Structure 1
Amino acid sequence: MQLAAIIVSLVLIVVGVALFGRALLQIYNFMRLGQPVPAGTRTNDPTQRTVTVVKEFLGHTRMNRWGIVGVAHWFVAVGFFTLLLTIVNAIGQLFQADWILPVLGDWAPYNMYVEFIGTMTVVGILVLIAIRQLNHPRNPGRKSRFAGSNFGQAYFVEAVILIVGVCIFMLHALEGAQHHVDGYEASFFISYPVVHWLAGMDVSTLQNLTYFFAGLKIATSFIWMITVALKTDMGVAWHRFLAFPNIWFKRNATGETSLGALLPMTSGGKPINFEDPGDDDVFGVSQVEQFSWKGLLDFSTCTECGRCQSQCPAWNTGKPLSPKLLIMSLRDHAHAKAPYLLAGGGKTMEGEEKASEEQLKDVPAAALAEAERPLIGTVEENGVIDPDVLWSCTTCGACVEQCPVDIEHVDHIVDMRRYQVMIESAFPSEAGTMLKNLEKKGNPWGLAKKQRLEWTKEVDFEVPVVGKDIEDLSEVEYLYWVGCAGALEDRAKKTTKAFAELLHIAGVKFAIMGGDEKCTGDSARRLGNEPLFQELGMENVMALNTAFGEELDDEGKVTAESRKPKSAKKIVATCPHCLNTLGNEYPQLGGDYEVIHHTQLLQHLVDEGKLIPVTPVEGIITYHDPCYLGRHNKIYTPPREIIGKVPGLRNEEMHRHKERGFCCGAGGARMWMEERIGKRINNERVDEALSLNPDIVSTACPFCLVMLTDSVNGKKNEGKAKESIQVVDVAQLLLDSVRTPVDPAGEAETESEPEPEPVK
């Protein structure tokens, strides 16, 4: 047994190490197929990036959101990387059964660590196996986060971990038995009962057991190594190595999720100048090699855990998009196409082959066939990603928020959309109306710009307009960016008027733009029309910089002499999409402003005592987190603080809230597209809200307000919701409570604003 174990183990070690080294080189060459990224964007602040990796790994900061799963995975992950010396120990035990590591072998703290982590690795993997079985797709079907994952690969990896963990435990116990541990001691504080049982066996039996478990441990470990080395697209195994560089190279060095701003369009690692694009500039992604190397790293790192899938509003309402399956499809396609690309293959913009027949003569037929598949195409076209998958995304960011290895799904989806919109003109037809309206009228509804100021005639106080009532914004504290919805959509206008009235009551000096401003371009950018976003954005930036009293040169850029600090340019917005674009994306266009959401300002005014909620607003309320306020900008507390200050309200949280909040269905330009597949996302969200039997559904976004109101009204018509239920913005709630109450005689105690009309 000893001889057989030695021979088999040594052969497997040599073969495994050689193949694994080759696999690492293959993966490196594979990543180099991707496009470069702008200099410094993925390598800035290396010290902080290293700290982020250590923090995310040792703290399991992303995994621990899932309770026991995170704890179990922590022990498995830590055991894998910190018990590597047990392999050395096992090799020594093949030659001498009672061999122990020099120095460490007799050190009690090391033995206690091996004992504890080894045991907990076994417990941890058993927990993860049980969770996978309890959530097997055969039970909950599509609702399982493991639906579509490679179960065979997962079972193989789980079996390897379990076997190795058991071997570590048994070899440690055999050490104790062979070294005549005849009483309880710290080094064997868990395994002592097994040590005591083994001590009754003869020396020969103990030695043979040692050879067996040592050989089994080594064979299992290196069979695993050989397997993953031969299958470099096995994400469920490779994520334990690739997760570290993927986290290190994430967009934000300090660890924030890759949400908020979209990345500017680049070609060959350089930003595209849309006023004068280069002849060889590539717009968006139409072939897998046009993704950046970070994109290819993302695809290979996916562990198929399905956390993104479980939170995706599209997948949860019967649509074909699963962020997990999308990333897996891109990974499998990229790896299958890699031999063709590594041989120099590729297509020009005109569809001509770059490589000669001689270069491609040794490329496997399967790789050549994969190269002919369109990246975006229907099943009939043998496409990698179906168009319905691409256009189902709301860019809500739930996938990015939940991914434990920091995959940037939204960026990759938008990159593919960009090519479809800009080059193929292939996108849902109804979105074309929105784009035309933005081009011609500067707003998605196609209304005249003069209508942007109509709401000011419906309030009983003066609303200063910059350039008309005041020269520039230095005379006020805030620019109130009303936005297209807030100025033009009837339901959103109620929020606009309520917020403006609250600012008036609190004595906050503010002003609005004069109606010449355009849509910020959020929907155009997330649809994929980057040039239109750039055009709208640059016009707005010029208008804003002028309004803030900064002088512009001939190119429309702020002169160095007139440039004001960011803190002197304060903007407040009621629309989270405007908030995100103005604050996070306009710096890419030369506009650097301090942008806050209206709920943040209102909370501040309430805390300062400038707004005092006194009138009770009775009933149960549930608050819906807008994706672009919550996940994209991490603003969760202010709306809830305001609700908590309004007397009479009892807040009930929906099951999916805050970081796990569920989209209303309007993001990613979905506001302007029909929802033809599966259940409507806003109906799914409203059903969750109605399960709490609320009197009020509140939110803090005009898009959400429209989507939730439409669904609630539909439920009322079907008799599935009580007629009294209201959908309102947080600002409307606060205004109802701040207004001076009426005395019993029917006359106001002091001069007050008129009572609001009921929200319908």
Structure 2
Amino acid sequence: MHALQIVATVVAWLVFAGAVVMAVRAGRYFVRLFRVGASDPSRFVAKGQRTATMLREILGHTRMLKWTRVGVAHWFVMVAFGALLFTIVEAFGEVSNPRFEWPVIGHWAVYGLLMELIAGLCWISIIVLIIIRQVNLPRRRSRSRFLGSTAWQAYYVEWTIFAICASIFAIRTFKIAAGDFPYPTWATPLSHAFGSIFTGMPTGTALNLVTICALVKLLVSWVWFIVIGLNLTMGVAWHRFLAFFNIFFKRNSGGALALGPLKPMTDADGKPLDFEEADPEKDPFGVAQVEQFSWKGLLDFTTCTECGRCQSQCPAWNTGKPLSPKLLVLSLRDHAHAKAPYLLAGGGKDATGEEKASQEQLAGVDALALAEADRPLIGGPDEGGVIDPDVLWSCTTCGACVEQCPVDIEHVDHIVDMRRYQVLIESSFPTEAGVMLRNLENKGNPWGANPNTREDWTKSLDFEIPRVGSDEATDFEYLYWVGCAGAFDDRAKKTAKSVATLLHEAGVKFAILGEGETCTGDPARRMGNEFVFQMLAQQNVETLNEAFEGRDKGRRRIVASCAHCFNTLAREYEQLGGEYSVVHHTQLLADLVSAGKLTPVSPIEGGVTYHDPCYLGRHNRIFEPPRELIGAAAGAASGHGGPAGNGAAAGNGGPAGDGAASGLTEMPRFAERSFCCGAGGARMWMEERIGKRINVERVEEARSTGAKTIAVACPFCMTMISDGVNATKPDGVDAEDDVEVLDVATVLLRSLGK
């Protein structure tokens, strides 16, 4: 062994030893930190299903491939990260013996081909990802998804991967130049192309260059582990290891996103909180300190890759609000890790705000960690808060961040957990929302309307709607949940009348609760008042159970025309013992059209575009039925009146296809990437004082389609989109000549000639 090989071998193994030490140290630190978080036993059920979900998401890259080019490139880089481990072992042999090859497989052409393909495709892919980052840098794009990301860390990871791939081909190049390469040209064409450049190089020189390149490869690889071991908040690197766990422990073991129902508040043991039995001395009411997030929350924050997909899709961020889901997660991550020495020494506060650790325990904690421990989780700049209140209250809970996150971070749950403490303990929330809460408590609806007028919307109908409990409603097939908007808001009343008329025309036996209905509690829960939500929900569950007495779940059928009521009834009342078979009115109407019980005959003039309600589409994956109805209504113009073509009904983010040809023109952002109307998360009852109004942004997008009708499927969307239309009405255009906002049910009713 020559001196060069001896030195290279010693250096390689020393750096490797340092990398192992740093990796073990980091692993132990992460485990200790995550265990500081609150208990969450629900994450440990269905381990087999969780394993299958993790493998499907990672190997299939199901989340990453939502952005196809980035997803494909990332898949090759991911595969290379594991598969090129073989070349790491080779490099250890090559630093001491440049002629080293693997035993048995070292001269196998198939092995040479596989490594060539994997390294080559990884090299091309990382170049693609580098270019994509450069094109989308903040200095080149306003509101860039990379704004706020730690640039040097991303560059370091990208160029590390580039250098490793380059080193692999450099080693092969100089082995070919030395005439000591076992693979044929057809199996390693790129290596032979590079090797031909150095034909005629002295053998000794070529072999020494093999050793040097192998050493460079090992140094680049293992120094990377040392660097990330020194930077424990380097999510762009650590997600390569933590993402496996974050996906495995996601909220829904079957793979569904953390959307739809909110997680219930939990007690100190991680079990759903019962307000009647809660212990204020022990049980947290929301999250006031970062360690009160569950251990999965702390894992979420550390796993963030800083890719900014959530940021790019967030309606608040896109309209100039201070909320970026990415920056919120990064703020929580940095705060948790800065506070970690204090927490790991036993520090922290109990549910009453009292310090749990003694002065002796905290004696060795550095001053910076102690200062971080004193920072309020929520607070303005003057208070030194980690999260600004304007950030917290800008969220519409639309779920676009959760939909886009490639590592399954549960942003909405974390935001609502922080809101819960602010509302229930601090009584700190936007003033207007307080009026809404008082109305819910006193009147059972957010408008504060007289509950005795809940049935007034039915008076102008030319048929009677039976009320549950009356003799006429003994054999109803569906209970029509009208909702507060349908009962009290003038625009939503038109939707309620349209739905009722269509059901009546189709011969569906249905009934209403009338004054027995009260708010489902959705706005209270989304703004953080779990107590009011449970009060309203339990009242409704008792009413519904009584209405459906003697029926099994399959016959406890409810049709709701509000996307928020639908989500709450179908997916959140289960948490309180209310199990029903709930459909949205677009689903039921689509079935009735398909069955021939409703037949559109009149054309819809001027074209239709459809706005997906967040709580119908993204939260509950109902994309097709509204499009089928619009396609059927528009198709009446050409005499076929059938459902829209597959493209319109696909709901998969692709082109509108046949549905567009039938009169539905999709907006640029639709289906799972639909842009929020701005009303969710109780924002319906809060003033929008910062940046551009979200509904205005959405209406401008709708106007760009040229359609004369904007169809919606939720009364919240109806209000917001209608207000946006009024705010953006072109000069010189009368209101009656401007675009019209209609519920899908009203679009269908008009197409029936009604």
CA distance in 1 between counterparts of 2:393 and 2:732 reads: 32
1:246 lines up with 2:233 in the alignment: no
CA distance in 2 between counterparts of 1:721 and 1:701 reads: 26
CA distance in 2 between counterparts of 1:712 and 1:391 reads: 25
Where does residue 419 of structure 1 map in the other structure?
421
Q: CA deviation at 1:178?
A: 4.4
Contact 2:178 2:202 in 1 (8 A): no
CA distance in 2 between counterparts of 1:310 and 1:251 reads: 23
Where does residue 681 of structure 2 map in the other structure?
668
1:622 lines up with 2:635 in the alignment: no
1:56 lines up with 2:72 in the alignment: no
CA distance in 2 between counterparts of 1:700 and 1:167 reads: 56
Q: CA deviation at 1:497?
A: 0.5
Kindly provide the amino acid, as one letter, of the partner of residue 106 in structure 1: H
Matches within 5 A, 1:163-178: 163-178=163-178
1:11 lines up with 2:14 in the alignment: yes
Contact 2:109 2:184 in 1 (8 A): no
CA distance in 2 between counterparts of 1:661 and 1:721 reads: 29
Kindly provide the amino acid, as one letter, of the partner of residue 692 in structure 1: T
Matches within 5 A, 1:240-639: 240-268=240-268, 269-278=270-279, 279-470=281-472, 472=474, 475-550=475-550, 564-639=551-626
1:733 lines up with 2:733 in the alignment: no
CA distance in 2 between counterparts of 1:357 and 1:721 reads: 72
Where does residue 207 of structure 2 map in the other structure?
207
Where does residue 22 of structure 1 map in the other structure?
25
CA distance in 2 between counterparts of 1:51 and 1:88 reads: 30
Q: CA deviation at 1:170?
A: 2.2
Q: CA deviation at 1:177?
A: 4.6
Q: Which is worse superposed, 501-510 or 270-279?
A: 270-279
Q: CA deviation at 1:185?
A: 3.6
1:34 lines up with 2:37 in the alignment: yes
CA distance in 2 between counterparts of 1:307 and 1:721 reads: 40
Q: CA deviation at 1:98?
A: 1.1
Deviations 1:133-176 (A, max 9, x none): 110001113x2000000001111111111101111222234444
Contact 1:182 1:196 in 2 (8 A): no
CA distance in 2 between counterparts of 1:5 and 1:625 reads: 61
CA distance in 2 between counterparts of 1:323 and 1:537 reads: 29
CA distance in 1 between counterparts of 2:549 and 2:78 reads: 55
Contact 1:262 1:585 in 2 (8 A): yes
Contact 1:614 1:738 in 2 (8 A): yes
CA distance in 1 between counterparts of 2:730 and 2:490 reads: 21
Q: CA deviation at 1:189?
A: 3.3
Q: CA deviation at 1:78?
A: 1.0
CA distance in 2 between counterparts of 1:100 and 1:351 reads: 62
Contact 2:43 2:250 in 1 (8 A): yes
Contact 1:312 1:398 in 2 (8 A): yes
Contact 2:729 2:738 in 1 (8 A): no
Kindly provide the amino acid, as one letter, of the partner of residue 342 in structure 1: L
CA distance in 1 between counterparts of 2:260 and 2:480 reads: 21
CA distance in 2 between counterparts of 1:673 and 1:211 reads: 66
Deviations 1:286-310 (A, max 9, x none): 0000000000000000000000000
Q: CA deviation at 1:349?
A: 4.2
Q: CA deviation at 1:186?
A: 3.7
Contact 2:112 2:183 in 1 (8 A): no
Where does residue 102 of structure 2 map in the other structure?
101
Deviations 1:202-250 (A, max 9, x none): 2112111111110000001111100111111111110110000000000
CA distance in 1 between counterparts of 2:130 and 2:354 reads: 49
Q: CA deviation at 1:270?
A: 2.1
Q: CA deviation at 1:107?
A: 2.2
Q: CA deviation at 1:181?
A: 5.3
Where does residue 697 of structure 1 map in the other structure?
710
Q: CA deviation at 1:719?
A: 5.1
Deviations 1:38-58 (A, max 9, x none): x3x212221221111111111
Deviations 1:383-408 (A, max 9, x none): 00000000000000000000000000
Where does residue 68 of structure 2 map in the other structure?
67
CA distance in 1 between counterparts of 2:194 and 2:99 reads: 16
SS, match of residue 716 in structure 1: coil
CA distance in 2 between counterparts of 1:499 and 1:69 reads: 43
CA distance in 2 between counterparts of 1:66 and 1:664 reads: 23
Q: CA deviation at 1:362?
A: 1.1
Over 3 Å counting, the alpha-carbon distance change for 1:203 and 1:533 in structure 2 is same
Q: CA deviation at 1:182?
A: 9.4
Contact 1:52 1:248 in 2 (8 A): yes
Q: Which is worse superposed, 167-176 or 72-81?
A: 167-176
Contact 1:715 1:721 in 2 (8 A): no
Q: CA deviation at 1:471?
A: 5.5
Q: CA deviation at 1:2?
A: 2.5
SS, match of residue 454 in structure 2: helix
Over 3 Å counting, the alpha-carbon distance change for 1:362 and 1:181 in structure 2 is closer
CA distance in 2 between counterparts of 1:53 and 1:111 reads: 30
1:151 lines up with 2:165 in the alignment: no
Give the TM-score, by structure 2 length: 0.94
SS, match of residue 377 in structure 2: coil
Contact 1:181 1:195 in 2 (8 A): no
CA distance in 2 between counterparts of 1:412 and 1:114 reads: 42
Contact 2:283 2:351 in 1 (8 A): no
SS, match of residue 698 in structure 1: strand
SS, match of residue 491 in structure 2: helix
Q: Give identity over the alignment, percent.
A: 58
Contact 1:261 1:584 in 2 (8 A): yes
SS, match of residue 356 in structure 2: coil
Kindly provide the amino acid, as one letter, of the partner of residue 634 in structure 1: R
CA distance in 2 between counterparts of 1:85 and 1:424 reads: 56
Where does residue 690 of structure 2 map in the other structure?
677
Kindly provide the amino acid, as one letter, of the partner of residue 572 in structure 1: V
SS, match of residue 455 in structure 2: helix
The count of aligned residue pairs is: 722
CA distance in 2 between counterparts of 1:182 and 1:257 reads: 49
Kindly provide the amino acid, as one letter, of the partner of residue 254 in structure 1: G
Deviations 1:626-646 (A, max 9, x none): 000000000001111111111
Kindly provide the amino acid, as one letter, of the partner of residue 678 in structure 1: G
Q: CA deviation at 1:196?
A: 3.2
Give the TM-score, by structure 1 length: 0.93
CA distance in 2 between counterparts of 1:421 and 1:468 reads: 40
SS, match of residue 669 in structure 2: coil
SS, match of residue 479 in structure 1: strand
Q: Over aligned residues, Cα RMSD in angstroms?
A: 1.5
Q: CA deviation at 1:358?
A: 1.6
Contact 1:398 1:660 in 2 (8 A): yes
SS, match of residue 210 in structure 1: helix
Deviations 1:115-146 (A, max 9, x none): 011011111111111111110001113x2000
Contact 1:43 1:249 in 2 (8 A): yes
Q: CA deviation at 1:373?
A: 0.4
Q: CA deviation at 1:190?
A: 3.1
Over 3 Å counting, the alpha-carbon distance change for 1:210 and 1:430 in structure 2 is same
Where does residue 746 of structure 1 map in the other structure?
none
CA distance in 2 between counterparts of 1:174 and 1:99 reads: 13
Where does residue 645 of structure 1 map in the other structure?
632
Where does residue 712 of structure 1 map in the other structure?
725
Where does residue 231 of structure 2 map in the other structure?
231
CA distance in 2 between counterparts of 1:657 and 1:86 reads: 45
Q: CA deviation at 1:477?
A: 1.3
Over 3 Å counting, the alpha-carbon distance change for 1:677 and 1:17 in structure 2 is same
1:162 lines up with 2:165 in the alignment: no
Where does residue 654 of structure 2 map in the other structure?
none
